[in-house]
Amino acid sequence: MYATTGYSQSVANLAQISFATDNVFSNGTTLEMASLSGSVAAGYAASLTVGIAA
């Protein structure tokens, strides 16, 4: 998505941070990142399995 027109500032902002220094993902991304499929033209779908404790 960031390779399409209109996202140049987002690319610059994203380059300033990493998952290791991010406040949300600094403890790892294995269980916190969604799987993405699709394309800019067709649209994207995200999937994330979330456990819920009862």
Q: What pTM, to 2 d.p., does this model score?
A: 0.51
* pLDDT 10s digits, 34-52: 999 999 889 999 999 988 9
Q: pLDDT higher for 45 or 2? A: 45
Structure tokens at 50: 């979330």
Quick check: helix, strand or coil at residue 14?
Answer: helix
Count of C-beta atoms within a 10 Å radius of residue 7: 13
pLDDT of residue 2: 63
Which tokens belong to 3? 């390779």
For residue 20, give every residue at least 6 positions away whose Cβ sits within 8 Å of its Cβ, in sequence order, or none. 26
